[in-house]
Amino acid sequence: MAPKSDKTNWADESNVLTVTVLGCTGDLAKKKTYPALFALFLHEHMPPRTVVLGYARSPLTDESLRERIRPALKGPKDQVEAFLASCFFQQGEYGSDDARENAESDPPVFGALGDRVATLEASRGFPGCRVTGHRIFYLALPPSVYPPVCANIKRACMSPTGWTRIVVEKPFGKDLQSSEELSAGISELFTEAQLYRIDHYLGKELTQNLVVMRFANRFLAPLWNRDNIANVQILFKEPFGTQGRGGYFDQYGIIRDIIQNHLLQLLCLVAMEKPCSLSPDDIRDEKLKVLRCIEPVR
Residues 145 and 217 reside in one and the same domain? no
In eight-state DSSP terms, residue 239 is: S
Residues 29 and 41 reside in one and the same domain? yes
Residues 165 and 235 reside in one and the same domain? no
Residue-level pLDDT at 105: 44
* Whole-prediction pTM: 0.81
> Does residue 8 form part of some domain?
no
Measured at the CA of 192, the angle between CA 186 and CA 197, to 5 degrees, comes to 70
3-class secondary-structure state, position 271: helix
Torsions phi, psi for 271 (to 5 deg): -100, -15
**CB of 53 within 8 A of CB of 168?**
no
For 172-279, strand residue ranges (E) read 195-198
Stretch (H or E) spanning 16: strand 15-22
Which residues form the domain of 286?
202-292
191-208: b (≥16 Cβ within 10 Å) or e: eeebbbeeebbeeeeeee
The CATH number assigned to the domain holding 65 equals 3.40.50.720
> Does residue 1 form part of some domain?
no
Catalytic residues: 262
Among candidate residues 53, 26, 19, 1, the one with its CA nearest the CA of residue 145:
26
Q: Round the CA-based radius of gyration of the chain to a whole number and report it.
A: 21
Number of domains in the chain: 2
Residues 91 and 176 reside in one and the same domain? yes
Residues 150 and 234 reside in one and the same domain? no
Residues 51 and 134 reside in one and the same domain? yes
Q: Kindly state the average pLDDT of the residues 37-61.
A: 92
Residues 89 and 67 reside in one and the same domain? yes
Residues 147 and 39 reside in one and the same domain? yes
Residue-level pLDDT at 24: 92
Helix axes 280-292, 264-271, angle to 10 degrees: 100
Residue-level pLDDT at 216: 85
What DSSP string runs through 77-126?
A: HHHHHHHHTTEEEEE-----TTTTTTTTTSPPTTHHHHHHHHHHHHHHSP
> Does residue 283 form part of some domain?
yes
Residues 130 and 166 reside in one and the same domain? yes
Residue-level pLDDT at 230: 92
Q: Which of 162-166, 178-182, 267-271 has the lowest mean pLDDT?
A: 178-182
The string of pLDDT tens digits covering residues 123-179 is 886 666 688 899 999 998 888 788 889 999 999 999 999 999 999 887 777 788 888
End residue of a domain, out of 198, 219, 246: 198
Residues 72 and 192 reside in one and the same domain? yes
